[in-house]
Amino acid sequence: MTNTRLIKENLRISFLSIKSHLLRTVLTVLIIAFGIMALVGILTAIDAVEYFLNDNFAMMGSNTFNVQNRDIRVHIGGEGRRAKSYEPISYQDAMQFKEEYEFPAIASVFTYGTGTATIKHESEKTNPNIQVMGIDENYIKAAGLEIARGRIFTLNEVLGGNHVAIIGNEIYKKLFTDKEDPIGKIISIGPGKYRIIGILEERGSSIGFSGDRSCMIPIANVRQYFSRPNMNFRISVMVNSQEEMDAAIGETTGLLRKIRGDKVGDDDSFAIIKSDNVANMLIKLTSKIQIGATVIGLITLLGAAIGLMNIMLVSVTERTREIGIRKAVGATSKTIRNQFLAEAVVIAQIGGLLGVIMGILIGNIVSLSTGSSFLIPWMWMFMGIGITFVVALLSGIIPANKAAKLDPIESLRYE
């Protein structure tokens, strides 16, 4: 019971001291709060980015992989070797692969026509940033996309290069502001006229993999009207389950090496990219950001610790006579030391709580801006509170010991 009363008395004295030196205390609290805010805020934002990457790459399908002529390598600055590039995958190579691929999976061939197209319907038109893709009859399913209205291409339309199109939801909203049924309507893509046969389900932002701002036409049509030298084609394969992924990749590698004429002992002349590999590479980069955020936060907290130690040392000097009176009426050195430690802890914890709240708010602003859900970073919260407690002990122990060692007689005579 005595210990409980001592703790309450120490806290009461701490708050009285804080109130009597309010401006100085507020400045110290703000320094601590900004340090914790930087730490918790950046780490929360990183959690939001990781959630965003996992969620959006998962939209591509964990059972899907792409074959292309260029490897993917994510690096910062000049570090890391450059991504390998190979000879373009020709239309003949891609279609031969699709015909001869016997693994129980869905194989699709697609290519990019242009990324700067303008699409028109009557008096409405889009910005010149529409991506035109040439796809086959399997691409919609292999890419994990869904049709909101209409249908997908038939095999005859794909091989015949018919002037039909499947447009993304964003294009539909831009061209058909009155929300009329777009199926069967004619749109212009460059100089060509195309009939809409399907609208893609809205997907939202997916790091460029969403179809919301894409216009898809038969692959033979792209070859005819958007052709260019050394046109490159890509292959997408969707297996039935994650367990079949390695076997499907092995079958793909063997068949495509034969088609491309890769000799025994030579490297593959193509790259196989899994969607989760891209996400993992990007997430690994966030660990470097975490280290940087931690260093920035700790440097700020070091400044806060120095500021807190300074305010406590000044407080000891100003309250020398008070310390002498307390010792004269029976307070022990331990009691005096605990009083000053309690004051340091209270100031630091107020700053820590304020910093955690501001950090969560800032981190979740980033989270909401990326389309992620609201995050409560429990680990970073407890870590922030724990760090401020350690800062309080380290910066308060020297002033507390100085106060505890003051001679009561000399203290009473201090002016």
Round to whole Å and give the CA distance between 193 and 36.
58
Round to whole Å and give the CA distance between 39 and 387.
10
On the question of pLDDT at 60 being above 60, the answer is: no
- Maximum pairwise Cα distance, the chain: 104
Is 364 in contact with 375 (CB distance < 8 Å)?
yes
- 3-state SS, residue 200: strand
Over range 343-366, report the average pLDDT. 82
Is 284 in contact with 122 (CB distance < 8 Å)?
no
Round to whole Å and give the CA distance between 383 and 99.
57
Q: Using the Cα atoms of residue 377, residue 378, residue 383 and residue 388 in order, give the sign of their dihedral.
A: positive
Tokens of 124: 């409405």
DSSP string of 384-404?
HHHHHHHHHHHHHHHHHHHHH
Higher pLDDT, 325 or 71: 325
Stated length of the chain: 415
Round to whole Å and give the CA distance between 369 and 285.
20
Give pLDDT tens digits for 145-198: 889 999 999 999 999 999 999 999 999 999 998 888 999 999 999 889 999 999
The whole-chain average pLDDT of the chain stands at 80
Q: With pLDDT > 90 as the criterion, what percentage of the chain qualifies?
A: 26
201: Cα within 13 Å, side-chain hemisphere: 10
Round to whole Å and give the CA distance between 370 and 206.
10
Round to whole Å and give the CA distance between 34 and 29.
9
Give pLDDT tens digits for 4-40: 776 677 677 767 777 777 777 787 788 788 878 877 8
pLDDT score recorded for residue 1? 42
- Residue spans of the domains in the chain: they are 2-56+281-413, 87-269
Higher pLDDT, 249 or 409: 249
Taking the CB of residue 402, how many other CB atoms lie within 10 A of it? 18
On the question of pLDDT at 266 being above 80, the answer is: yes
Cβ contacts of 284 within 8 Å, gap of 6 or more: none
- Model confidence at 95, in pLDDT bands (50, 70, 90)? very high
Is 29 in contact with 351 (CB distance < 8 Å)?
yes
Lowest mean pLDDT among 76-90, 340-354, 355-369, 380-394: 76-90
CA distances from 114 to 88, 131, 134, 206 (A): 17, 6, 10, 19
Higher pLDDT, 70 or 208: 70
Please name the residue that has the structure tokens 């609208």.
199
Higher pLDDT, 58 or 299: 299
3: Cα separation from own chain's centroid: 48
pLDDT score recorded for residue 276? 63
On the question of pLDDT at 255 being above 90, the answer is: yes
Phi then psi dihedrals of residue 266, to 5 deg: -85, 155
The CA radius of gyration of the chain, in Å to the nearest whole number, is 33
CA distances from 96 to 25, 102, 145, 158, 333 (A): 75, 12, 24, 15, 88
Lowest mean pLDDT among 68-82, 236-250, 257-271, 400-414: 68-82
Round to whole Å and give the CA distance between 401 and 261.
79
